[in-house]
Structure 1
Amino acid sequence: MKICHVNLASGYHGGENQTLQLIKQQAALGYELTVVANPKSPFVAAVRALPCRVVLANHYFAAHAASVTADCDLVHVHEGRAIYWALIQKLRHGVPYIVTRRIDNPLKKKWLANIAYRKASAVVGLSRDIVAKIQHAYPQLSPYKIPSSPVTYPIDETEVNDIRSRFKHRFLVIHAANMLQHKGFDVTIAAAKALQEQNANVHFALLGDGKAREQLETLAAGLTNVTFCGKQSNMGSWFAAADLQVHPSYTEGLGSVILEGLNSGLPVIASRTGGIPDIIDDHVSGLLIEPGDSQGLATAIMTVQANPQLRETLCAGAQQKLTSFRIEHTAELYQKIYQEVKSSL
């Protein structure tokens, strides 16, 4: 197959990591790949290390030469603005495209978005929740559901030992995400406040940065069981060093960092929202709380801490659950869509 992937994000977050994961798998399978990417993003350096042709575009109006997709079977769009790039390329050069939608926000039915979704040969949502939102906005579509896949990070044993020494004799709970309002760091801090006197052995390491950090630091003032560690580039070591991961988001498209934690062997407590229940079956592959329920989070943390057998059960259930999320499986699902689109032309 000859595929052109498009991701025009200027930063590098979970969506870009997932796009890269699929590209790596397809390259290993022998696909001929073109990648259109924003030169401002670290994503460019990552794809340049792979056997791909890289085309730079900092806007969806850029890089619309026929030669970019001349030999491609289709374009695969991975980020919001990129759908307009694919639409323009189709209108100018007749190349079909499919869209993967990763966020669970309601779709804004602007006139250009309406055209872009109607012209797509296929639309994919990462979760049941995203698929439902696509169908609500565009009843004429029949979107597919293909989830993200867990990324495996390297582990540095020296770093693991350093982290464990830093939080020695503590049950280490990590919350890793961009520090944005919807990621629920305020819920984690409220749970820490509830546990500070009830359970002195629990310590929270908040891994991330963002525009909400200053407000969150103010919220956590006076707490001795919370450490703001900033954004980390060594998540494999943190996953290996921690005892538990929490992710009490208010909204979540799917939760790739949850997949990464589960894949690393951590038990996870997360909120029952968005695509998270696609990953976590309550008391089977993790624990679920209601969004915003800090006391429920605190109680769940104490339950997991006090019950090693429960931790083992949840981790075993998570490994079973992850079989349908592995990149080998999700890449095969995408291949079937590619083939359907190609055969329909």
Structure 2
Amino acid sequence: MHICHVNLASGFSGGERQTLTLIQQQAQMGYQLTAVVNPKSPLVDELRAIPQCQIVLCPHYTRQHGRSITATCDLIHVHEGRAIYWALFQHLLHRVPYIVTRRIDNPLKKKWLSQLAYRKASALVGLSSEIVHQLEKRHPDAKLVKIPSSPVTYPVSQDKVEQINAHFRGKFLVIHAANMYAHKGFDVTIEAARLLADTSPDIQFCLLGDGKERASLEGQAQGLTNVQFMGKQTNMGDWFAAADLLVHPSYTEGLGSVILEAMTAGLPVIGARAGGIPDIIGHGVTGHLIEPGNANQLAQYIADIAQQDALRAHLIKGSHQQAAACDISQTAITYQDLYQQVITH
């Protein structure tokens, strides 16, 4: 089977890591692979380490539409918003079928080109029930499939883990890792830290990330000694190994890949009952859920997990089971079944 993956993002965030993880797994499964990627993206260098993958550098969705790019491909797999237009043009020009994986739970755009691109797809994949719901609202007649993303694993440097542990010695370390956008709920985490500052001085919050909301959040956290802004991190494996708990109280979220990554690393997790997060956090089983924006709930659950070893062990066991169910080996087989259905249709 020859699959052409398309991701035209210029950065290297969760969606790009998911694209890479799937391509790596499919290479192990014996696929022929083509990847159409933005030349500015770090994804390019990662893909160069995969001999089975031919790389096509494409700075814009209107470029690189030669017949030869997909001449031997069975199907195009779209992984982000701009890539859907590239797949649409390739389909209209050369009749190559394509599927779309949508990772965000926002309502779909009403623009005619976007609607056409989704309508022409052979199948639409949502990472969560909420994303599938949003797809169904706009395209009720489409073939809709829910396939959760898979956790990415990161290398761990024991020296760096020990440095983090030494810096926060004696503290119960809570991390919140995301780009600092308003919908990521950092304000909720900071407010929970404020509520715990006097009653639980041994709980330390580290906010891992950067973005346009950082200055405002730093203002909100002014005077709190139990909150530290650590900036954007490239060594998440070290932080997962050093931390005691991950919180992710987003107001909206496609699925929350960082939650799955933390689960894989053996951390208990707390998320918000928003977007696709409830698909992977079963309250009291694989983690805890708060109502969006409820800092009081978040503070209480953090304190419970910090103080109750049995509860923490129970949640870690459940989170490991959830992460295993989303392993890339399972995800790749699910996608393979979908590819075969589209190809033979």
Alignment TM class, shorter chain as reference: over 0.9
Separation in 2 of the partners of 1:23 and 1:337?
16
Aligned position for 1:62: 63
Separation in 2 of the partners of 1:300 and 1:319?
19
Which structure 1 residue ranges, 4+ long, deviate > 2 Å from structure 2?
Answer: none
2:14 pairs with 1:14: yes
Aligned position for 1:263: 264
Separation in 2 of the partners of 1:214 and 1:46?
32
Superposition deviation, residue 23 in structure 1: 0.4
Separation in 2 of the partners of 1:90 and 1:105?
25
Structure 2: gaps of 5 or more residues:
none
- CA deviations 1:235-279 (Å, max 9, x no partner) are 111101001110000000000000000100000011011000010
Superposition deviation, residue 65 in structure 1: 0.5
Percentage identity across paired residues of the two chains:
60
Aligned position for 2:35: 35
Superposition deviation, residue 115 in structure 1: 1.0
Superposition deviation, residue 38 in structure 1: 0.4
Aligned position for 1:322: 323
- Number of positions where the alignment pairs a residue of Structure 1 with one of Structure 2: 344
- SS of residue matched to 2:198: helix
Superposition deviation, residue 107 in structure 1: 0.5
Aligned position for 2:154: 153
2:167 pairs with 1:170: no
CA contact (8 A) 2:122 2:143 kept: no
Counterpart AA for 1:206:
L
Separation in 1 of the partners of 2:322 and 2:235?
25
Counterpart AA for 1:196:
A
Match runs of 1:113-262 below 5 Å: 113-262=114-263
- CA deviations 1:203-262 (Å, max 9, x no partner) are 000001111111111111111000100111111111010011100000000000000001
Separation in 1 of the partners of 2:302 and 2:290?
11
Separation in 2 of the partners of 1:292 and 1:194?
14
CA contact (8 A) 2:128 2:254 kept: yes
CA contact (8 A) 1:100 1:126 kept: yes
Separation in 2 of the partners of 1:321 and 1:163?
27
- SS of residue matched to 1:123: strand
Separation in 2 of the partners of 1:297 and 1:84?
40
Superposition deviation, residue 48 in structure 1: 1.4
Superposition deviation, residue 328 in structure 1: 0.4
Separation in 2 of the partners of 1:65 and 1:291?
47
Superposition deviation, residue 142 in structure 1: 3.0
Superposition deviation, residue 96 in structure 1: 0.6
Counterpart AA for 2:87:
A
Superposition deviation, residue 323 in structure 1: 2.8
Structure 1: gaps of 5 or more residues:
none
Counterpart AA for 1:6:
V
Counterpart AA for 1:11:
G
Aligned position for 2:2: 2
Separation in 1 of the partners of 2:167 and 2:142?
52
- SS of residue matched to 1:215: helix
CA contact (8 A) 2:2 2:31 kept: yes
Aligned position for 1:45: 45
Separation in 2 of the partners of 1:195 and 1:322?
29
The TM-score normalised by the length of structure 1 is 0.99
- SS of residue matched to 2:141: coil
Superposition deviation, residue 109 in structure 1: 2.0
Alpha-carbon RMSD across the aligned residues, in angstroms, is 0.7
Superposition deviation, residue 45 in structure 1: 1.0
- CA deviations 1:1-20 (Å, max 9, x no partner) are 10000000011110000000
Separation in 2 of the partners of 1:324 and 1:146?
11
CA contact (8 A) 1:185 1:248 kept: yes
